[in-house]
A and B are shown apart, each in its own frame.
Chain A
Amino acid sequence: MKVRVHNNWPPGHIRTPAYLRGKVGEVERDIGLFNNPEQNAYRLPPQERNLVRVRFTMSEVWGDAAETPDDVIEAEIYAHWLEPA
């Protein structure tokens, strides 16, 4: 399943790396529910959010500057940061 990371830039404690925002990747696996760190970090009552491992190609992330286009980066992204692509 292909997903796109939201290209959003809200303030606060965000675990979605800047370099992956707006990028399209393939779901590698679902990991399960975890407390949303965006609330947890401020001692707000956290909602549980699904956490997903997403695989991005170097060419998707870095474009023509990719060191080796077919190498990949895998990262954990909270489902509320993802939309179908």
Chain B
Amino acid sequence: MPHDHHDHDTLSPSGHPYRKDDDTALSYWQVLEIAVRELLIEKGHITAVQVHDQINTMDARSPANGAKVVARAWCNPEFKSALLADAAQASRDMGFDIGPMHLIAVENTASVHNVVVCTLCSCYPRNLLGLPPDWYKSRAYRSRTVIEPRKVLSEFGVDIAQDVQVRVHDSTADMRYIVLPAQPALARGLLENELAQWVTRDSMIGVGIPQAPI
């Protein structure tokens, strides 16, 4: 039984190990951020409420926004053309507040599979999909995806046939990328809001394929 233990120093009453407090010193950049933020507030340029509103706005963005964009492209050929021509404008036209982000949509087809990475840092279409997963920012993903994309994809459970070209998109500068995954055969004929449930975050990065909702 998890509760019949005697390790009261290392396990919580619920039977799980205690997590150590984060008692390390602030980094240089953390100190700088606090100093600049406090000065801006003290001098009346911004308020603490505005800072938290921005944090809440970013936290409210999620892959569900991108899923709605993809589902509409699957249902509406005109919207799909607009998305492939200018994904940022098409997303704004759907009502998403993506700020000044420049977005390119790349389409998976029977002969092409796209995958997105940022080798230089961690560029990600945050203004549409929210914060990136931690692995997207890891050195391993960033370096290996341009060297051995098929091996990386297979570790995500995605095996690409040899007659399909893999296109790796390195977000090196000002553009951000979203993959328009292929609509699964099993998802044909569904309504747009049902289709959005199939679109996973990973399928819009290119390391997954759309999945039937659980």
Contact = CB atoms under 8 A, between A and B. Distances in A.
Interface residues of A, number: 23
Contact of B172 (A55, A68, A76): A76
B150 A15 contact: no
Contacts, number: 63
Contact of B167 (A16, A61, A67, A72): A72
Interface in B159-176: 162, 165-175
Contacts of B170: 17, 73-76
Contacts of B150: 67-68, 71
The size class of the interface chain B forms with chain A is 20 to 34
Contacts of A31: 102, 174-175
20 contacts: A15-B172, A16-B172, A17-B119, A31-B174, A31-B175, A34-B173, A34-B174, A51-B174, A51-B175, A61-B146, A67-B147, A71-B150, A72-B166, A72-B167, A73-B167, A73-B170, A75-B169, A76-B173, A77-B172, A77-B173
Q: Which 9 A-B pairs have the closest CB atoms?
A: A76-B173, A75-B170, A71-B166, A67-B148, A75-B172, A73-B168, A15-B173, A34-B174, A76-B172
Interface of A: 15-17, 19, 31, 34, 37, 51, 53, 55, 61-62, 67-68, 70-78
